[in-house]
Structure 1
Amino acid sequence: MKHLTGPAYVDIRERALRFVRDELIPLEREARLGPEDPWPRDLLRRIWKRSNELGLLKAALPVELGGPGLSTVELCLLKAEIAETGALFALHVLGELSGPPRVGSLMNFASAYQIERFFKPVMEGDKGICFAMTEPHSGSDAASIKTSAVRDGDDLVINGRKHFISGSPFADIAIVICVTDPEAGPKGMTAVLVELDAPGVRMDETYVPMSGQHIDADIVFENVRVPAANVIGGFGNGLRLGMARVNLNRLLHTSWMIGAARKVYRMSLDYARTRMQSGGPIARFQAIQHMLADMATTLFACESMMLHAAMKADQGEDLRMEASACKVFISERCFEIADKAVQIHGNVGVTKNHPVELTFRQLRLARILTGTSEIQRNAVAREILQA
């Protein structure tokens, strides 16, 4: 992969993996945190600040936003390697759940007031931010959003409920997509910055996804009053802003799936070599060998597909078909790798919160998040039929 990366990537990769190995993994052990324990907010803020000190928190951003300007290929490779560590706090190394990547290109539309009050604290690791678009009834149909923001003098009054919002349990700020003009359809939606400690905001964490991780929640807004100055990108541009990076984000999400699949594949190799049965390692059985061969072949296909799409992104090409094709193929194939890992590990692989069992659940969830496999197939079909 050396020919695909530059010196900046090599340096950031080394710092990131050292941070995980020398600080984050010991920290999770010291705090006695398991994979299904809620993350203490003060601990996360310490991690964000430390990541910022190490020059990692903004590593996914372009140069103009204070980042190193890594290519899409480099970002995919880096995210996969961090995910492969299996560290509990892996998603916080680059601020993926609640940090600068959540802001991204929105900085280009922010006012000086919004940058100072909302985005600068996120960029420095002082606050967390989440993107709130999905609603209980809308799912992948973003145009059916009903959360409203009604003008009242210099303020907006927000009412509604956002559902399954990643990073919200430990966020301080939300970018909320609201309906400001019910008659205008998709062009009547607006992005509004809301502080989550404002009167009328309530977090509903009563459900937990099958991964067992406390990283998603509903945000309920009941007559929440915010200044109209909190509108970002202008009235009526919310849906456009929300969907602007969806294709690139779908591609980048596949990198952590590949990292997780690599982890359980390598665990399976080690287990097959050391698990003794009937006088020898189970790796000598052809059935086990075929499963391992399938896992290696599938990983090769997934990695090649992701990197090909990433190279197209770096060349400025349209990714609508490729991003959806990557999301559906990689999410489904990586889950199959996890399924084989469970089979190879036997009773160990079905033990609650064993790394293989946990990864199996996480990768099953990946086929739903950021657009289901069915939605991705719709997108691919639409692109190829219009070609």
Structure 2
Amino acid sequence: MNHLTGPAYADLRERALRYIREELLPLERELGLGPEDPAPRNVLRGIWQRSHALGLLTGAMPKALGGPGLTTVELCLLKAEIAETGALFAMHVLGELSGPPRIGSLMQFATPDHLERFFQPVMTGKKGICFAMTEPHSGSDAASLKTSAVRDGDDLVLNGHKHFITGSPFADIAIVLCVTDPAAGPKGISAVFVELDAPGVRVDDTYVPMSGQHIDADILFENVRVPATNIIGGPGNGLRLGMARINLNRLLHTATMIGAARKVFKMSIAYAQTRQQFGGPIARFQAIQHMLADMAASLFACEGMMLHAAAKADAGEELRMEASACKLFISERCFEVADKAVQIHGNLGVTHNHPVELTFRQLRMMRILTGTSEIQRNTIAREILQA
């Protein structure tokens, strides 16, 4: 892959993997944290600020926003390698859950007040942020949001319920998509900064998704008052801002899936070569060999597909069909890789929180999150039929 990357990527990659190897993996052992244990907030803030000090927290940002300006291809390669480590804190290295990648595309619309109060603390790892769009009855149908923000003098008064918001259990700020003009339909939705310690805000993290990880929660708003100046990008532009980077984000998510699948694939090779049954390693059985061959072929296809789409993004080409095709194909193939890894590992593969079993659950979720497979098929069909 060296011909696809430059010196900035090589340096950032080396620093990121060393940080994980020498600091984050020892930290999770020192704290005795398992994959289903919530990380203390002070620990996460320490990780964010250390990552910032190492020049990693803004690693996904363009040069204009203080980042190294990696290409989309380089960013995909880096995210896959970070995910492959399997470290509990891997997603915090580049701030993917609650850091700069959540807000980078919005900085061009920020006022000086927004920059000082919201963006700078997030860019330096002092605060976490989440993007709150999904609601209990508004998942894929983003335009059907019900959370309201009613003008009252110089303030907005928010009421509503956001559901399954990634990063919210440890965020300090939320960018909330809410209805500011009910008569305007989708054009009446605005994006509003809300500090999560404001009166009337409640973060409900009592439910746990099938991954067992405490990274998602609901946010409830009851007569929450915020300054009307907390609207970013102007009234009525929230949905447009929220959807602006969806194609690129879907592509970038596939890198994380590939990294996780690559991890259990390599584990499966090692296990098949050492697990003894009937007088020898199970790798000598054709049934095992065929599963490993299918896993290798799937990963080869997924990686090639992702990099091809990333190269189109770097060339400035439209990515709507390609991003949806990548999300659909890669999420389903990577889950199949994890399924075969469970089969090869046998009783270990179905043991709760074994790395293979955990990855199986995580990758199953990815066929739902960031747009279901069915939504991706709808998008692909619409694009090819309009061609």
- Scaled to the shorter chain, the TM-score interval is over 0.9
* Per-residue deviation, residues 212-251 of structure 1 (Å, max 9, x unmatched): 0000000000000000110100000000000000000000
Cα distance, 1:83 vs. partner? Answer: 0.1
Cα distance, 1:157 vs. partner? Answer: 0.2
Tell me what 2:300 maps to. Answer: 300
- Aligned-pair identity in percent equals 81
Q: Residue 348 of structure 2 aligns to a residue in which SS?
A: coil
Letter paired with 1:153: G
Tell me what 2:69 maps to. Answer: 69
Give the 5 Å matches for 1:220-259: 220-259=220-259
Which consecutive residues of structure 1, in runs of 5 or more, have no partner in the other structure? none
* Per-residue deviation, residues 160-182 of structure 1 (Å, max 9, x unmatched): 00000000000000000010000
Q: Residue 163 of structure 2 aligns to a residue in which SS?
A: strand
Q: Residue 176 of structure 2 aligns to a residue in which SS?
A: strand
Give the 5 Å matches for 1:336-375: 336-375=336-375
Q: Residue 191 of structure 1 aligns to a residue in which SS?
A: strand
1:126 aligns with 2:130: no
* Per-residue deviation, residues 318-375 of structure 1 (Å, max 9, x unmatched): 0000000000000000000000000000001000000000000000000000000000
* Per-residue deviation, residues 79-128 of structure 1 (Å, max 9, x unmatched): 00000000000000000000000011100000000000011000000000
Tell me what 2:116 maps to. Answer: 116
Q: 1: CA distance between counterparts of 2:209 and 2:382?
A: 31
Cα distance, 1:281 vs. partner? Answer: 0.3
Letter paired with 2:371: G
Tell me what 1:31 maps to. Answer: 31
Q: 2: CA distance between counterparts of 1:326 and 1:209?
A: 24
Tell me what 1:329 maps to. Answer: 329
Q: 2: CA distance between counterparts of 1:283 and 1:50?
A: 42
Tell me what 2:165 maps to. Answer: 165
Q: Residue 203 of structure 1 aligns to a residue in which SS?
A: strand
Q: Residue 225 of structure 2 aligns to a residue in which SS?
A: strand
Which consecutive residues of structure 2, in runs of 5 or more, have no partner in the other structure? none
Q: 2: CA distance between counterparts of 1:162 and 1:217?
A: 9
Tell me what 2:320 maps to. Answer: 320
* Per-residue deviation, residues 118-165 of structure 1 (Å, max 9, x unmatched): 110000000000000000001100000010000000000000000000
TM-score, length-scaled by structure 1: 1.00
How many residue pairs get aligned? The number is 387
Q: 2: CA distance between counterparts of 1:113 and 1:182?
A: 27
Cα distance, 1:316 vs. partner? Answer: 0.3
Q: 2: CA distance between counterparts of 1:191 and 1:256?
A: 27
Q: 1: CA distance between counterparts of 2:181 and 2:46?
A: 41
Q: Residue 25 of structure 2 aligns to a residue in which SS?
A: helix
Tell me what 1:382 maps to. Answer: 382
Tell me what 2:145 maps to. Answer: 145
Q: 1: CA distance between counterparts of 2:172 and 2:125?
A: 11
* Per-residue deviation, residues 230-282 of structure 1 (Å, max 9, x unmatched): 01000000000000000000000000000000000000000000000111000
Cα distance, 1:205 vs. partner? Answer: 1.2
TM-score, length-scaled by structure 2: 1.00
Letter paired with 1:362: Q
Q: 2: CA distance between counterparts of 1:123 and 1:204?
A: 26
Letter paired with 2:207: Y
Q: 2: CA distance between counterparts of 1:7 and 1:280?
A: 45
Q: 2: CA distance between counterparts of 1:63 and 1:14?
A: 19
Q: 2: CA distance between counterparts of 1:179 and 1:135?
A: 13
CA RMSD after TM alignment: 0.3
Q: Residue 103 of structure 2 aligns to a residue in which SS?
A: helix
Q: 2: CA distance between counterparts of 1:146 and 1:277?
A: 58
Give the 5 Å matches for 1:65-104: 65-104=65-104
Q: 2: CA distance between counterparts of 1:207 and 1:374?
A: 25
Q: Residue 349 of structure 1 aligns to a residue in which SS?
A: helix
Letter paired with 2:16: A
Tell me what 1:200 maps to. Answer: 200
- After the TM superposition, list the runs of 4 or more consecutive aligned residues in structure 1 that deviate by more than 2 angstroms: none
* Per-residue deviation, residues 292-329 of structure 1 (Å, max 9, x unmatched): 00000000000000000000000000000000000000
* Per-residue deviation, residues 171-201 of structure 1 (Å, max 9, x unmatched): 0000000100001000000000000000000
Tell me what 1:183 maps to. Answer: 183
Q: 1: CA distance between counterparts of 2:319 and 2:331?
A: 17
Q: 1: CA distance between counterparts of 2:306 and 2:259?
A: 12
Cα distance, 1:206 vs. partner? Answer: 1.9
Letter paired with 1:188: G
